[in-house]
Amino acid sequence: MAGLAESGSNPDVDLLYDINGLAKDAPAWFDRAVEFVGEYGLLLAMVLLVVWCWWSVRRRGAEDAASSVAALVWAPLAAGIAVLVNVPIRGFVERPRPFRTHEGIDVLVSGKTDYSFVSDHATITMAMAVGLFVANRKFGLLGLGLALLEGFCRIYMGVHYPTDVVGGFALGTAVALLLSPVAMALLTPLTKAIERSPRAGRLIRGRGRSYDEQDAVMSGTRREAAGAGTEERDLAA
């Protein structure tokens, strides 16, 4: 991988120069904005999107609220696991940052001394986006858009090759999807148990009755029906 990076004729490096070259022609304020957005802003936006999705699921109070919230809990967990998986990958590949092996790169963020492959930012945002998509397709599509924008920003900032970003997208997607069945099997019973709680249940469903309230209503309905049947038999007698 590092050997490929040293060749200026390969498409990975060519695309790096094309995208990073946009920073040279852009005004300074725009570069500073991309620097903030690419380093912090999009990660914060992804977290807020997960919270927004949770609030929407909670307010709607649908029957599948517990499973949807479980998927939302899995989204940041998947991102954390994907970053941990990336630690040995980076150590094995040992690909230098592009500005260390290529001249003329406009670096918007200084102080990056670790390896380049794969991008943590791309990994985190894509893992959370895929987790969001499992919970809610509309919010998931918004998350995917943020993840793609994050990948573009990392290349624009001169801190990653395009293949670093693609590798991060692949890693985040793989962790979020492959481990999703196990995560849902563990998290869904937990969110359903919380949903049954008289107080904590509102974290799952803000509308509608809790399971205990539904059981009480059903029991009352059955008792009323039984009482009506007894009265009818007495009158008949």
pLDDT digits (tens, 9 = 90+) for 33-92: 999 999 999 999 999 999 999 888 877 766 778 888 889 999 999 999 999 999 999 989
Domains of the chain: 10-191 (1.10.606.20)
Q: Mean pLDDT, the chain, as a whole number? A: 83
Q: Can you give the pLDDT at residue 218?
A: 43
The residue that leads in pLDDT, 231 or 60, is: 60
pLDDT digits (tens, 9 = 90+) for 150-200: 999 999 999 999 999 999 999 999 999 999 999 999 998 988 888 887 777
Q: Can you give the pLDDT at residue 4?
A: 42
First to last CA, the chain: 91
Grade residue 8 by pLDDT with cuts at 50, 70 and 90: very low
Can you give the pTM of this predicted structure? 0.79
Phi/psi for 153 (5° steps) reads: -65, -40
Side-chain-facing half-sphere of 86: CA atoms under 13 Å = 30
How far lies 191's CA from each of 132, 181, 199, 204, 229, in Å? 16, 15, 13, 7, 39
How far lies 207's CA from each of 77, 97, 107, 201, in Å? 27, 50, 50, 10
Phi/psi for 64 (5° steps) reads: -95, 20
Selection from 195, 178, 181, 182 nearest residue 64 by Cα: 195
How far lies 106's CA from each of 24, 25, 221, in Å? 7, 11, 71
Q: Can you give the pLDDT at residue 210?
A: 46
Residue 121 has pLDDT above 50, yes or no: yes
